[in-house]
């Protein structure tokens, strides 16, 4: 799919990897972006930086159908279509089987992570796919593309990541059935599993912690750059033969147990 003048929905687009991708889509590819996030001040700042002709912010709760419906109505009113959906919203809430006291951890904590990181992804991608299916197909027969953000934790989760790892593995698990179902509408579905990236949140960690994380990276021996993540998302949208797959973007990192 050629991204010029296409409309890209990005959840979690007001910060971190989502924001970097929004910037890249507008400035490098000439796309329009709809930023869905709970952080209103960061969302407004992002739109201001990108220009109101190119970006729209919608304060959105990804686990609320009503909230997503309202956001999509605004997107359609402003841009008239949705061509791509990048689901980067997520929470890394720690969750273990047993706490320090040896007692079972809270099911509600586990369910909260699954609800946001997995159910929220399904909610947004299904609502966006409904709109994509109405687009006129391009020269490749495409009407839309979904890129869901997973994590290296889906493969080698660390201690304390029971909920997070399960949610991200679930994101990967949706690829094939969703790609098979939506293929007849000309919609592709893939996921990207990033490793360690230099987001503001990671950069705020103690230097000792950052160095320990970098030490797990094989080659190159550094954090990923946010524009490298954005470039990978772009490739997944632009390449019409990539479908139903998970791409690991992690410098061959294998996370240790802790």
Question: Token pair of 66, please?
Answer: 């009503």
The length of the chain, given as a count of residues: 258
Any catalytic annotation for residue 164? yes
Query: Both ends of the chain: CA-CA distance in Å?
Result: 40
Contact 159, 258 (CB under 8 A): yes
Q: Is the peptide bond before 173 cis (omega within 30 degrees of 0)?
A: no
Alpha helices in 118-253 (DSSP H): 120-132, 162-182, 200-203, 207-215, 226-238
Q: Which residues are CB-neighbours of 99 under 8 A, at least 6 positions away? A: 105
Is there a contact between 215 and 147 (Cβ–Cβ < 8 Å)?
A: no
Place of tokens 């839309």: 144
Question: Looking at 110, 164, 185, 241, which residue is catalytic?
Answer: 164
> 3-state class of 13 per DSSP?
coil
Strand partners of residue 191: 148, 246
User: CA quadruple 11, 140, 185, 194: dihedral positive or negative?
Assistant: negative
As annotated, the active-site residues are 164
């Amino acid at each position: 799919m050629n991204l010029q003048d296409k409309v890209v929905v990005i959840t979690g687009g007001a910060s971190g990897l989502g924001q970097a991708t929004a910037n890249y889509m507008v400035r490098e590819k000439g796309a329009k972006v709809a930023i869905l996030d709970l952080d209103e001040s960061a969302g407004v700042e992002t739109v201001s930086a990108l220009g109101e002709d190119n970006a729209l912010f919608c304060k959105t709760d990804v686990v609320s159908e009503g909230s997503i419906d309202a956001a999509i109505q605004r997107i359609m009113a402003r841009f008239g279509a949705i061509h791509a959906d990048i689901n980067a919203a997520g929470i890394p809430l720690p969750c273990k089987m047993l706490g320090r006291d040896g007692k079972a951890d809270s099911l509600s904590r586990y369910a909260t992570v699954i609800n946001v990181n997995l159910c929220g992804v399904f909610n947004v991608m299904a609502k966006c796919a409904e709109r994509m299916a109405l687009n006129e197909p391009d020269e490749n027969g495409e009407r839309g593309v979904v890129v869901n953000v997973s994590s290296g934790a889906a493969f080698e989760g660390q201690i304390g990541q029971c909920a997070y790892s399960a949610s991200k593995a679930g994101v990967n698990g949706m690829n094939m059935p969703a790609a098979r179902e939506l293929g007849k509408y000309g919609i592709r579905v893939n996921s990207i599993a990033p490793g360690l990236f230099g987001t503001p949140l990671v950069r705020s960690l103690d230097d000792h912690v950052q160095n320990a994380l970098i030490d797990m990276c094989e080659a190159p021996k550094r954090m990923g750059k946010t524009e490298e993540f954005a470039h990978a998302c772009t490739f997944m949208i632009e390449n019409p033969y990539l479908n139903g797959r998970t791409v690991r973007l992690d410098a061959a990192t294998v996370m240790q147990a802790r």
